[in-house]
Amino acid sequence: MNVLDQLKGRFGNAMPEGAATAADRAAFEKAVRPAGDPKFGDYQANGCMALAKSTGKKPRDLAAEIASAVDLAPIAGPPEVAGPGFLNVRLNDAFIAGALGDLLADGRHGLVPPRQARTVVVDFSSPNVAKPMHVGHLRSTVIGDSLARILAAAGHTVVRDNHLGDWGSQFGMILWGWKNARDEANYTEDPVGELARLYRLVNDRIDAGDAALKEATRQETAKLHAGDPENRALWNQFMPHCLGALQAIYDRMGVKFDVQLGESFYDNQLAAVVEDLEKKGLAVESEGAIVVFVEGVEAPFIVRKSDGAFTYATTDLATIQYRAATWKPDQVLYVVDARQGDHFKLLFEIARRWGYDAINLEHVAFGTILGNDRRPFKTRKGDVVGLESLLDEATAEALKVVQENSPDLDPEEQRRVAVIVGMGAIKYADLCQNRISDYVFDWSKMMAMNGNTGTYLQYAYARTQSIFRKGGTTAEAIRAVRPAILVDHPVERAIGLKLLRLPEAIDLAVAELKPNIITDYLFDLAQAFSTFFEECPVLRAESPERRDSRLALCALTGFTLKFGAGLLGIDMVDRM
RNA sequence: GCGCUCGUAGCUCAGGAGGAUAGAGCGGCGGUUUCCUAAACCGCAGGUCGCAGGUUCGAAUCCUGCCGGGCGCACCA
């Protein structure tokens, strides 16, 4: 159950007779929200001031009128009129207690099916297979994975698609490098490492201004696309190694895809796309290239270069066509760096004009990862930081802390915990921030074992499990007993109310496509639990009823933290 | 030049389709451990929400202009 939704509905039904339009009602419902300050209650309705204007009444009179008209039973008593016309709502303790009991028995975290279940394609991660994955790929992977999990939890059908960059000019660089600078022994030893070396070698020379080399690699790319047997054979030889290396990282991160349809998959559809665009009068010839112009944007959208090669723009259009035909999605999310905003703006506009106007195409943009110096994140030596070494380092850091704090755990368990804590730290640090902000990467902040971190959530969870161990019970056993829940202590009430509000957080996260709404919720919950842990003895509670009630609150907290962290792709441990 | 984006406490950031006295973490200062994990809890200090106008009963939030940072702008993806 979503308490906020319930209250919105109740208030919506209490609009003054005849005076309020449907738009007024919608606006009023929207202005029902969690209270900004606990002293104003639990929720508040702020719509009276605006509604007073359109109905010509005085705000406080209107507020009084609605307060007496609205039926909040059994959720809450009549709202209180406050200030210029606020309506403050305080939930009934009996309602909270009952709802918590239902939550415990139900086991579905209070989630209900959405009014309209959507099919959503989430396009995320999408690395170039030729380059080693580095921290730049982290955000798309972590944010996209989390959004996919959140959408699925909200009841939507999700297709996770890794749109690999396996066909672009970076492959031309590798092909040229292979033919001119390969180290076969190194390749035998470490294929992906050798390919990465070749990529870097060639890329550095091009960046340094080697125009002839750039042209040579362009030709290698063109030959690959044209079906040149040698280049195709090399591509087929390299790809399994590249995919294997990627898969190893995804396995470590616990990230899964439903499909991995890279650029190469769409190659045979590109000519038809351009043809169709021309036929429909969308694409025109310009300076030897075939392009689509969009009003108000100077730069054209190039679907075929003057040398005849197609571009990623063409591929992106073909991808929309394929996805529309295959999954009939209501929405497609592109979890991609904010710097590509211009490209997507054009892509979406052209797709609409091309006929895909019923799909909600959305660029889920995120900011750049920066170093402490506010420059793009590099190692001390100036290299981009490889994802593998990042994961290794986080695990090593976590292991040190685990060994220090939990010497009683056996070494194998310490390592297992360190992997989970390290990964949680990396993911949480990325997700807890509004994705659009640039992300200042800070080791000490990320690996901090206190404050607003993944570790803090994991610790709170471990403490719930610790109570069960000491009490000789389990969360599932408590669920089976279904004890009555008491919320007359303010700290119990606070955590109880928090526990009811996961659906609100998920709804908001889905609407805004922001995982940090989930991290905020979980951090609040973990804080509420930490306070509860200090102030409310569980196993030594003053009565058996109180003890059982508090065990139930611990069980609910554990379930919610574990489920919620799961929405972020973060695991929990029973001891740490 | 055009466009996008950001500017909130010493630091890192929430909040942003308008609502009551602007929040958190870290750092700082001060407390808490015969008691379920102190990786914790409690308290204190700390802000002209970049600046200036405007709209509004009400602006960190919306509009305009300016200042400052980042990013993107024809054949890379």
Of all nucleotides in the shown strands, which has a C1' nearest the CA of A458? Answer: B39
CA A56 to C1' B70, whole Å: 48
Say whether pLDDT at A19 is over 60.
yes
Per-residue confidence (pLDDT) for residue A378, from 0 to 100 = 66
Across A481-501, average pLDDT: 96
CB count in 10 Å sphere of residue A545: 12
Q: Record the tokens describing residue A431, joined without a space.
A: 């997700």
Place of tokens 């650029």: A263
Distance A438 CA to B42 C1' (A): 34
Which residue ranges form the domains of chain A, and what is each CATH number? 3-91 (3.30.1360.70), 93-108+450-576 (1.10.730.10)
CB atoms inside a 10 Å sphere around CB A390: 20
Q: What is the C-alpha to C-alpha distance for residues A536 and A551, in angstroms, rounded to an integer? A: 11
Q: How far is the CA of A36 from the C1' of B22 (A)?
A: 11
C1' of B19 to CA of A86 (Å): 9
CA A443 and chain centroid, separation: 21
Q: Nearest nucleotide to A531 by CA–C1' distance?
A: B41
pLDDT on residue A275 = 97
Nucleotides of B under 7 A from a protein CB: 2-6, 12-15, 17-21, 23-27, 35-42, 57-58, 69-77
Cβ neighbors of A153 (< 8 A, separation 6 or more) are A111, A506, A563, A567
Contact A223, A231 (CB under 8 A): yes
Q: Find how far residue A230's CA is from the centre of its chain.
A: 41
Distance A461 CA to B36 C1' (A): 13
pLDDT-based confidence at A198, cuts 50/70/90? very high
Mean pLDDT computed over A44-63: 91
The packing angle between helices A490-499 and A544-566, to 10°, is 30
A98 pLDDT more than 70: yes
Greater confidence (A539 vs A377) lies with A539
| Nucleotide showing the shortest C1' distance to residue A46 CA | B19
Report which residue is nearest nucleotide B37 when distances run from CA to C1'.
A463
* pLDDT for A441 beyond 90: no
pLDDT interval class at A527 (50, 70, 90): very high
Q: Looking at chain A, how many residues does it have? A: 576
Considering only CA atoms, name the residue closest to the C1' of nucleotide B33. Answer: A534
C-alpha span between A109 and A562 (Å, rounded): 11
pLDDT tens-place string over residues A266-275? 999 999 999 9
Asked whether residue A18 carries a pLDDT value surpassing 80, the answer given is no
Residue nearest to nucleotide B7 (CA to C1'): A437
DSSP character at residue A169 = H
**CA–C1' A157–B6 (A):** 34
How crowded is the C-beta side of A315, counted as CA atoms within 13 Å?
A: 18
- Residue A136 above 90 pLDDT? no
State the pLDDT at residue A16: 84
